[in-house]
Amino acid sequence: MDKIYKTLLFDGKISLAILETTEIVNQAIKYHKLTPLTAAALGRTMTASLFMASNLKNEGDKLSVTISGDGKGGQIIVSVDSKLRVRGYIDNPTANLPLNELGKLDVRGCVGKGRMTIVRNMGLKEPYSGSCEIVSGEIAEDFAYYYTISEQEPTAMALGVLVDGEGKCIGAGGIVMQALPGCDDETAIEAQKIIMKYGDISTHIKNRGANGIKNEDFKGLYFTERDAKYECICSQDYIDSMIISLGKEEIYDILNEQGEILVECQYCDKKYRYLEKDVKVLLGENDG
Ligand SMILES: [Zn+2]
């Protein structure tokens, strides 16, 4: 099971989170047939979104992250709820690019330039929405920038996804530090130095797991622990209501044109098929 561990450092001036998301990334690879490049782009976004969702306060709260860049991969959309159930997709899952000048996956080229938008839905209140420019395209820097600029929470983050020759994820996760109120500059700089040691976070996850990093590198600290998983919340009821909202005319247009209505969930590839008899039931029409 994937995990998120959290603790406080430097007398409570810095919060630390360590995330392991290998299974989640493998589930995304399975659903969307991702290349190593798009697995990295989507996997990093899902990891950062999970961190963000781990700070949601109430059950039922959820958030969505949209990264709209002009890169090869197209738009990335991720949503997570307060129970840390995450799902996501990328517009062009088969996107591929040559390795960058450092011999790494060119996630920046996959994402491109554009904007990142975060929407938090919290109960009955209006959704809270924030957005910022994509400053890097490597995703960790972008989330750190978003937190620092839009939420005034200075943040340092490392994210990584390691994929083997067969296209399977063998290590994915992240490490995040945030300055809490009362944090002084020297402490923030010390925290930044720690994060910089995890430039290759996916290899750390592969070799030791988030649990190993926690136990070996932050020995003696008390951590909270939560499970996270890839889970789509689409359902027959939800798709039914989506179809109904199209209106009778549109529904019959599609039906007459295609002989059926086929809805494929973008997050989990589940297929919902409606034939004429199903539509009649849906619209409450009686055969007489
Ligand atoms: Zn689904």
212 and 254 both lie in a single domain: no
As a whole number of angstroms, the distance between CA 115 and CA 238 comes to: 29
- Please give the average per-residue pLDDT across 257-270, as a whole number: 92
What's the CA-to-centroid distance between 197 and ligand 1, angstroms?
Answer: 37
CA dihedral 259, 92, 241, 243 (to 10 degrees): -20
Is the pLDDT reported for residue 180 higher than 60? yes
Instruction: Answer with the residue of higher pLDDT: 285 or 261.
Output: 261
Is there a domain that residue 288 lies in? no
- pLDDT at residue 122 in the model: 85
59 and 135 both lie in a single domain: yes
3 state DSSP class of 78:
strand
Tell me 111's DSSP state. H
Q: If pLDDT is split at 50, 70 and 90, which confidence band does 123 have?
A: confident
Is the pLDDT reported for residue 288 higher than 60? no
As a whole number of angstroms, the distance between CA 279 and CA 249 comes to: 12
What's the CA-to-centroid distance between 77 and ligand 1, angstroms?
Answer: 13
- pLDDT at residue 1 in the model: 93
- Domain termination site, one of 187, 209, 230: 230
105 and 72 both lie in a single domain: yes
226 and 242 both lie in a single domain: no
- pLDDT at residue 91 in the model: 97
Residues 6 or more apart whose Cβ sits within 8 Å of residue 116: 65, 66, 67, 68, 131, 132, 133, 134, 142, 143, 146
* CATH number of 274's domain: 3.90.1280.10
What's the CA-to-centroid distance between 266 and ligand 1, angstroms?
Answer: 7
- pLDDT at residue 286 in the model: 66
pLDDT digits 0-9 by tens, 74-119: 999 999 999 999 999 999 999 999 999 999 999 999 999 999 999 9
108 and 251 both lie in a single domain: no
As a whole number of angstroms, the distance between CA 114 and CA 74 comes to: 10
- Please give the average per-residue pLDDT across 197-222, as a whole number: 96
112 and 32 both lie in a single domain: yes
- Please give the average per-residue pLDDT across 275-279, as a whole number: 91
Worst-scoring range by mean pLDDT, 93-97, 123-127, 166-170?
A: 123-127
Per the structure, the complete domain to which residue 143 belongs is given by 2-230
What's the CA-to-centroid distance between 264 and ligand 1, angstroms?
Answer: 8
Q: Kindly list the protein residues that place their beta carbon closer than 5 angstroms to ligand 1, a single-atom ion.
A: 232, 234, 265, 267-268, 270
What's the CA-to-centroid distance between 217 and ligand 1, angstroms?
Answer: 38
- Domain termination site, one of 196, 213, 230: 230
Is there a domain that residue 287 lies in? no
- pLDDT at residue 125 in the model: 75
Residues 6 or more apart whose Cβ sits within 8 Å of residue 65: 45, 48, 49, 52, 76, 77, 78, 79, 116, 117, 118
Structural domain total, the chain: 2
- pLDDT at residue 78 in the model: 98
